Structure formats: structure tokens, C-alpha cells
Structure 1
Amino acid sequence: MGWPITGRQREKFSSITSMLKYAPQLPFVLKGLTVTFPGGMKTGIVGRTGSGKSTLIQALFRIMDPTVGQITVDGVNICTIGLHDLRSRLSIIPQDPTMFDGTVRHNLDPLGEYTDNQIWEALDHCQLGDEVRRKELKLDSPVVENGENWSVGQRQLVCLGRVILRRTKILVLDEATASVDTATDNLIQKTLQQHFSGATVITIAHRITSVLHSDIVLLLDNGMAVEHQTPARLLEDKSSLFSKLVAEYTMRSTRT
């Protein structure tokens, strides 16, 4: 299955999710949301807590399906695709990095799809190669449950190594740098720019500065898309919600 197609502007992730709710008796979380993410471009999704950011990503991975409407990727309704086929073509770096009981190798390549050289290359790209080489068992070094013998920053870099290995055409960052320090955040951003320059990258931002270099910013409010424009245009408009969020973030950062 050669889906999705590579190439800027050819691959489109279009959310035509008119309505979406968690259960029939609950209110809608996404309300009449219609938005297109151009292929090969970086889109940052921002909004206050409860605006629908994470719900939109859950819908993309089909953790929940739209109540009304559809989500299409490259013209294909994702509800017509098997979950394994869909998710094998998407990558995500979550806010809470996930590691499991096993080895370094199995945490990076749980299905045994890649060579040792490819795994080492991914580790070097995410600045963990030297750390693993210092361990006696190298790639077979043990990882305890939840990766407790690794720091939070290292766990997030392992997640980065996974997506570098897979090189999917659509990458989601779900507040991926919310729990790491600024240096690790900068490393992740730089690595993604180097290795996913032609991919469609969707970023849910905790630090609003993470989306300032995006091609497009989507601002959600109460489950609706209220702004969808380049960061520069939105910052020029001092009345835009995005401009106000950046000002609030800058003020908080100055105080701390």
C-alpha cells in the first residue's frame, strides 16, 4: 500500500470532523471543525486546556471516530483503513515518554524490523549513542518497567529515536517537550528539522515558542478552529488570540 504519497502539497491530512464526542450522552468536544493540513508542512496546534487539541490527535489515530463527518489523509477516509495499516503509517512522540521492561534494542525496535547499524544511527542522531556505548551490554542493556533507570529527558530521546527509525510521512508531537528542559527541547526540535524536513509534522504545543517556526498555526477554542494562518501573520495582528497567547507566555517566562 503506497499510501500516503510523499511530496509537498500532494499529501493532505484533511480533518472534516463536523462533530465528535466521547460518549452519546456527553457534549461535543469538536464542533464543526473543518481544516486541512498541507502535505510536507509543519502545523502547530495551540489553544487553552480543553480546546480540543488532544481530541483531534486521538481522532487521527482512530482512538475515537468522528460522530459526524470524516478525516481523510491523501483523499482516503481513515475509517475505511484497518487500525494496524493506519497506525503503521503514523508516528507520535507523546508528552509522557513510554519505555517498557526489556532492552534498549527492543524499546527502539520492538518488532525487530531494523539492523543494529540502523539502530545505532538513530541513537547517534538523538544524542544517545555514546550513552548506550558506555553500557556493558550496549543495545542489549536492560530497561526496567517504565524506563525508571533512564531520566525523563533520555526517555523522550528514545521516543525520538523510534520515530527516526520509522521515518513515517506523518509525525505528531503531542506536547512532546512539555516535561523536558530547554536544552533537550532544542535538541529535539533541531533533530526533527534535520530528519523530517519533507514530512507532514503536526505539533501540539505546551511551550508556545515551539510553534513559532511552524509553517501554519491552527488555534482551537472550545472545539472549533478560530485561527489558521502563518505565525508571522497572526503575530502581526495584535488582536489575534495567538498573539495574545504568545504575549501571555512571554510575560510568564519573564517573571520566572
Structure 2
Amino acid sequence: MTALFRIVEPSNGVILIDGLDVSTLDLPTLRSRLRIIPQEPIMFTDTVRINIDVESKFPDQDIWSALELVGLKTYVSELPEKLDAFVAERGENFSVTDERVNTIADFDRIMVLDAGELVEFDTPSNLLGKDGGLFKALVDATGPANAALVAEIAQNRK
């Protein structure tokens, strides 16, 4: 991942995305078009607001919009402190697996890594149609209702 994001430059070889050598892209362009969604959420021991907007740059309306996009708006709005609700260490008081899966189902393409190796790379719709695939297994593990929702999101993405 560090080479993909050019945090370190590869000592040999090249990294190609759609035939384009990533070393030819300026860093802001490259990094603005890539996203990492870890298996374990990275959350700070602070408020919901700070976890979403660590630099306090955005108004509440934008934060609520972001929460809505990941399916957490209702959950957070029901907390007594709402955006100022405390997030426990490692986000243990939040369960966001379903929301992360739903969010990435709307991406153009998904890379699935296993033990640091690229094992799947395709559109969400194609990955969901791959029996025995890791992405499909992850989606199926969120439960039948959510898996159907993810399939619908991916299908509408086409």
C-alpha cells in the first residue's frame, strides 16, 4: 500500500493502474483518487465529529451528509450527544462493517487484498457474481438483507 500511494517509491518495477504508471501522476491527483478501507475501522478516542472532521473544516450539515452516505445518520442522531458523542477506544462502541461494505459497493472498482496480495480486482457487480470470491463472502457475512441491499447498490452503479 505504501508504494501504491507513493509514500515510498519502489526501488524497481512499476505500479500500473489501467496501464498508467502511477509514478507519472502528481501526488495530490493520485492520492485523491485512491481510498483504503481497512478491515478494522480506524477511529480516534474522541467525538463522532472529530472522527469525521479531524481538522474541524466542515459545517455540521456536511458531517450529517457524510454520516447519511455511510448509513450511520440514524444511529448517530439517536445518540444523546449526537455529533459530540464519545467514541470509545478503537471505536468499540460503533459497529460499522455493514456501512463500509455498503459504501464500497458504490465504487467504480474494488481491489481485494489477502495477506498483502491482490486476489480480486473488478467492479462491485462482477465481484458479487463471483462464487467463492472474498468480496462476495464479506458481503454475504453482513446478512441476507444487507447483502441484497449491497447487490442493489452495485447493480444501480452500472
Between Structure 1 and Structure 2, which shows a larger proportion of strand residues? 1
* TM-score by shorter chain over 0.5: yes
- What's 1:115 paired with? 59
Structure 1 residues 85 and 113, CA gap change in structure 2 (3 angstroms)? farther
Query: SS of the counterpart of 1:91?
Result: coil
2:40 counterpart letter in structure 1: D
2:111 counterpart letter in structure 1: T
Contact persistence 2:69–2:103 (CA under 8 A): yes
Task: Confirm whether residue 125 of structure 1 aligns to residue 69 of structure 2.
Answer: yes
Structure 1 residues 79 and 107, CA gap change in structure 2 (3 angstroms)? farther
- What's 2:147 paired with? none
Residue ranges of structure 1 left out of the alignment (5+ in a row)? 1-56, 157-183, 217-229, 236-242, 251-256
Structure 1 residues 148 and 191, CA gap change in structure 2 (3 angstroms)? closer
Distance 1:123 1:80 in 2: 31
Q: Shift of the alpha carbon at 1:133?
A: 1.0
Distance 1:91 1:115 in 2: 23
Indicate the structure (1 or 2) with the bigger Cα radius of gyration. Answer: 1
Between Structure 1 and Structure 2, which shows a larger proportion of helix residues? 2
Distance 1:114 1:76 in 2: 34
Once the two structures are superposed, the pairs formed by residues 16-35 of structure 1 within 5 Å of their partners are none
Once the two structures are superposed, the pairs formed by residues 177-196 of structure 1 within 5 Å of their partners are 184=98, 188-194=100-106, 196=107
Structure 1 residues 148 and 109, CA gap change in structure 2 (3 angstroms)? same
- What's 1:59 paired with? 3
1:136 counterpart letter in structure 2: P
- What's 2:14 paired with? 70
TM-score for both structures, normalised by structure 1: 0.39
Distance 1:92 1:129 in 2: 22
Greater RCO, CA 8 A, separation 6+: 1
Task: Confirm whether residue 203 of structure 1 aligns to residue 111 of structure 2.
Answer: yes
Contact persistence 1:65–1:79 (CA under 8 A): no
Distance 2:123 2:31 in 1: 24
C-alpha offsets along residues 190-248 of structure 1, whole Å, 9 cap, x if unaligned? 44334x3xx4x332156xxxx69x349xxxxxxxxxxxxx87xxx8xxxxxxx8x66xx
Contact persistence 1:100–1:147 (CA under 8 A): yes
RMSD: 3.8
Q: Shift of the alpha carbon at 1:103?
A: 0.9
TM-score for both structures, normalised by structure 2: 0.58
Residue ranges of structure 2 left out of the alignment (5+ in a row)? 115-119, 138-158
Instruction: Give the paired residue count.
Output: 127
